[in-house]
Structure 1
Amino acid sequence: MTLRIRVRQVIAYFFRSLLWSLNLLLVLYTCFGYWLLYSLPTEHWSASMIMITLPVAWALNLIVVFCWLTSRPWRSWLSGIVLIIGLILFGSRTFVWHTPVEVISQGKPIKIFSYNVQSFDLNESWSFYTSSPRVRRTDNYVLRYDAPIKCFQEFYNSTSIPDYNVVLRFRKAGYRYSVLLYPQNALVPEGDIGAAIFSIYPIVDSGREPFGGSNGVVWANIKIGNDTIRVINVHLRSMGIRVGKVLTQKEMKGVKRETRGVLTALHNGFTDRREEVYKVIDYIRESPYPVIVTGDHNDTPYSVVYERLRQVLPNSFEDGGRGFGFTYNRLPGFIRIDHQFHDPKLPVLNFETLNYIGYSDHYPIVGTYLIK
């Protein structure tokens, strides 16, 4: 055996040992994330950071499996088993495939439309002080979409330009009942309303609670025929992910600055959303009627917020969705942060993510429920 061959063997052995060590660490990290998400022993922001990275850990485990299959196939079983466990425990949060259910018994199907409209893009177009084609298309779309109950986050209104006086246009379109997080802003030339609910059915009671800025919760008890349901529309603290800003930096100093900004925003977001979700749960538990929760939760299915709500109400995507259901229309893109949760008394017939509607940095979500 020549010296060159022996050196190659030593190098190969070193890298295989290094990969195996990293594989063991990755498996331990993934299992730790499983334990945190499954049992929620702590709600510290660092635990949330680990839970939210579970999809990345799965992707790395899958890569490791393929790496071992090409050199030491018997070592691929470790990450393979971890992936199977994740599929069993959390597969329905990630990918589902349900077919829409047709109403064959007595009952009325009701659509709940929810959309973070990103202020109708008015923040960028406002300098024109005229009707913008992009804003006009967005306004017309949300007005014409066929759903009797519509919920919005980052809702914006202007009384100075008819095209942008969206509250008035909704009322003329038949949505005579509404709940606005900041109702006073519907009467000014430029008004940031925040969360909003519009309904063609009577709202017999309602409430609102701002969390700061445009974030907050609004709820409405809506009478549909002889029945009443409570719709809760939430917009929790921003997730703080601005990957595009990090990638567009030309110097390392800028990359570090933006990365620190993202991490700080994530830390603050995890902390604030943890408190906000308990307020939402209070509105669920105090309701005398079946509840549907919708909105921009700014948290993935692998989070404290999602798990806490899931312990109270089933998730509509898991019960009636299709595919991955990604709702964020920006980098990183492959995340689902807009959710609907439903009372078991209101079974979900269908759930859609309208990922062909690109007017905002979010996609609309629509759940169809059966009111018996």
Structure 2
Amino acid sequence: MALRIRVRQFITYFFRSLLWSINLLLVIYTCLAYWLLYSLQIEHWSASMVMITLPIAWVLNFIVVCLWLVARPWRSWLSGIVLMIGLIMFGSRTFVWHTPVELASKGKSIKIFSYNVQSFDMNDSWAMYSSSPRIRRTENFVLRYDAPIKCFQEFFNSTSIPDYDIIKRFRQAGYRYSVFLHPEMTQTSDGNVGAVIFSIYPIIKSGREPFGAQNGILWADIKIDNDTIRVINVHLQSMGIRVGKVLKQKGIKAVQRETRGVLGALHTGFTDRKEQELIVEQYIHESPFPVIVTGDHNDTPYSVVYERMRRLLPNSFEDAGRGFGFTYNRLPGFIRIDHQFYSPKFTVLNFETLNYIGYSDHYPIVGTYLLK
């Protein structure tokens, strides 16, 4: 009987010691992520890999706190303090709850709509030529949504089918001014135009910088009454997250192969997006007008790209959003990679993630601003 009690005590002690060791390693890892994100002393892709896992580290710390509350309550303080520090330092970029600001009677609001439409699903030729109801619903939504300035990523246009000649339909709807990342594709029968800016207000100057078939930076100086603003529409390098494909693989080797592909894409994405973000910063610094940056940044709020942009311009979600603001409509789902940033000369009145619009692998985002 005494031997059984001693064995039980030894096993309990062993697992408590193991949990405590894991707890210490987890706390060190979480604090490292805090330091990397807060200081940006290291902008290497490996540092970005640590930063992006910060929400996972928070979840693990929370689980550890719960386990210690059952086994040894006094040991829960360590991960608890780490979680509190994370809430103080990075809580606003994770979860917020703001009430929309009412527009003053003398003010004029500016609404910026942004949406990665995933080519309207028109890469599927059968669906396109069979006049897919899903495609028609997506097109009708983006045409009818009430916003004078609309930015798109992965925009597709077809001049061969009147219903899918969306550029023509936008012009008929009053959006007479536009800028295209690949203007040469607007005249083809079926073309991936990439990023697009449509405006009912005059565009007095514009520029583009493609990074490939889809990715790139597009900017337009838009005259609104007596004021002029610069809208920058970005579509940075893809994250390469293919969690669904990994889960669908059968066999260990297939899972390992797909996982290596994901890690390789993440490595390439971290490196490319950092270089692309430096170009965005250049367009911001060179602008003689107040700036709004919108689009698919393909990076979470715990990244080098987001932190650099955040230090340059305030983030609209953090200042006027509600909830978690997740914008990715695929696995893992709980990430926010579409953002809007604005010059301090604006007041952000409201920011929404339209997570009830599930036509694409992204949700639309909408910011409403008042130029001071």
Structure 1 length normalisation: TM-score? 0.99
Paired residue type of 1:366: V
Superposed, 1:114-263 pairs within 5 Å as: 114-126=114-126, 129-263=129-263
Q: Which moved more, 1:102-111 or 1:263-272?
A: 102-111
Match of 1:338 in 2: 338
Paired residue type of 1:248: K
In the TM superposition, what is the alpha-carbon distance from 1:371 to its structure 2 partner?
Answer: 2.2
Q: Which moved more, 1:126-135 or 1:86-95?
A: 126-135
Runs of 4+ in 1 over 3 A off after TM superposition: 125-128
8 A Cα contact 2:122 2:128, kept in partner: no
CA distance in 2, matches of 1:285, 1:238: 25
CA distance in 1, matches of 2:248, 2:339: 30
Superposed, 1:61-76 pairs within 5 Å as: 61-76=61-76
CA distance in 2, matches of 1:173, 1:108: 22
Match of 1:57 in 2: 57
In the TM superposition, what is the alpha-carbon distance from 1:125 to its structure 2 partner?
Answer: 4.4
Paired residue type of 2:60: L
In the TM superposition, what is the alpha-carbon distance from 1:213 to its structure 2 partner?
Answer: 1.9
8 A Cα contact 1:349 1:370, kept in partner: yes
Sequence identity of aligned pairs in percent? 78
CA distance in 1, matches of 2:151, 2:315: 17
Secondary structure of residue in 1 paired with 2:211 = strand
In the TM superposition, what is the alpha-carbon distance from 1:131 to its structure 2 partner?
Answer: 1.5
Secondary structure of residue in 1 paired with 2:123 = helix
Match of 1:298 in 2: 298
CA distance in 2, matches of 1:249, 1:213: 28
CA distance in 2, matches of 1:128, 1:302: 38
Secondary structure of residue in 2 paired with 1:332 = coil
Deviation string 1:59-105 (CA, Å, 9 cap, x unpaired) is 00000000000010000000000000000000000000000000125
Q: Which moved more, 1:127-136 or 1:355-364?
A: 127-136
Match of 1:31 in 2: 31
8 A Cα contact 2:100 2:350, kept in partner: yes
Match of 2:287 in 1: 287
Match of 1:48 in 2: 48
8 A Cα contact 1:33 1:54, kept in partner: yes
In the TM superposition, what is the alpha-carbon distance from 1:128 to its structure 2 partner?
Answer: 5.2
CA distance in 1, matches of 2:214, 2:174: 26
Match of 1:324 in 2: 324
8 A Cα contact 2:322 2:352, kept in partner: yes
8 A Cα contact 1:130 1:161, kept in partner: no
Tell me how large the CA RMSD over aligned residues is: 0.9
In the TM superposition, what is the alpha-carbon distance from 1:5 to its structure 2 partner?
Answer: 1.5
> 5+ unaligned residues in a row in structure 2: which ranges?
none
Are 1:97 and 2:82 counterparts? no
CA distance in 2, matches of 1:281, 1:300: 18
In the TM superposition, what is the alpha-carbon distance from 1:130 to its structure 2 partner?
Answer: 3.3
> 5+ unaligned residues in a row in structure 1: which ranges?
none
8 A Cα contact 2:128 2:135, kept in partner: no
Deviation string 1:289-326 (CA, Å, 9 cap, x unpaired) is 00000000000000000001111100000000000000
Secondary structure of residue in 2 paired with 1:70 = helix
CA distance in 2, matches of 1:127, 1:101: 42
Deviation string 1:16-66 (CA, Å, 9 cap, x unpaired) is 000000000000000000000000001100000000000000000000000
Paired residue type of 2:98: H
Match of 2:357 in 1: 357
Number of residue pairs the alignment of both structures matches: 372
8 A Cα contact 1:125 1:132, kept in partner: no
Secondary structure of residue in 1 paired with 2:220 = strand
CA distance in 2, matches of 1:283, 1:221: 11
8 A Cα contact 1:240 1:265, kept in partner: yes
CA distance in 1, matches of 2:128, 2:142: 22
8 A Cα contact 1:131 1:161, kept in partner: no
8 A Cα contact 1:138 1:359, kept in partner: yes
Deviation string 1:223-280 (CA, Å, 9 cap, x unpaired) is 0010000000000000000000000111111100110000000000000000000000
In the TM superposition, what is the alpha-carbon distance from 1:4 to its structure 2 partner?
Answer: 1.2
8 A Cα contact 1:353 1:363, kept in partner: yes
8 A Cα contact 2:314 2:341, kept in partner: yes
Paired residue type of 2:205: D
Paired residue type of 2:274: R
Match of 1:111 in 2: 111
In the TM superposition, what is the alpha-carbon distance from 1:126 to its structure 2 partner?
Answer: 4.3
In the TM superposition, what is the alpha-carbon distance from 1:132 to its structure 2 partner?
Answer: 1.2
Residue 164 to residue 71, structure 1, CA distance change in 2 (3 Å): same
CA distance in 2, matches of 1:305, 1:186: 31
